[in-house]
């Protein structure tokens, strides 16, 4: 096989996901994004009873709103923490929101 015209360099997997704001107060812009593995980071909700829920999250490049995704496993899987420059735009701790 020969490559006639090289494509972009793939780093891990990529998937088309929609900016919904799910799990982060909604309010997403509805853009369809090509989200790559490196775009994901881990967020968490900590409860007063000591329990925690972990989420796989990405930030929309159009509007900056964070969206949780159900497509990929949740939990502390070594994903990076939220980017510092966007941390001020989002709450640092989640309220009682539930995914349903």
Q: By three-state DSSP, how is residue 89 classified?
A: coil
Neighbours of 1 (CB within 10 A): 2
End-to-end CA distance of the chain: 47
Single pTM value for the model: 0.63
Cβ(48)–Cβ(96) under 8 Å?
A: no
pLDDT of 38: 84
Residues 75-99: tens digit of each pLDDT: 455 666 555 544 444 444 444 444 4
pLDDT grade for 14, boundaries at 50, 70 and 90: confident
Residues 41-79: tens digit of each pLDDT: 888 888 899 888 888 899 999 999 999 987 555 545 566
Task: Name the nearest CA neighbour of 64 among 32, 34, 7, 19.
Answer: 19
Question: pLDDT: is 73 or 2 the higher one?
Answer: 2
Geometric angle at alpha carbon 33, from 95 and 44, rounded to 5°:
25
């Amino acid at each position: 096989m020969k490559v006639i015209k090289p494509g972009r360099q793939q780093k891990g997997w990529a998937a088309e996901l929609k900016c919904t704001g799910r799990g982060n107060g909604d309010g997403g812009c509805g853009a369809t994004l090509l989200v790559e593995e490196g775009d994901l980071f881990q967020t968490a909700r900590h409860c007063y009873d000591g329990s925690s829920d972990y989420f796989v999250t990405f930030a929309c490049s159009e509007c900056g709103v964070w969206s949780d995704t159900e497509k990929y496993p949740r939990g502390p899987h070594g994903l990076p923490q939220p980017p510092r420059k966007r941390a001020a735009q989002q709450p640092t701790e989640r309220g009682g929101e539930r995914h349903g």
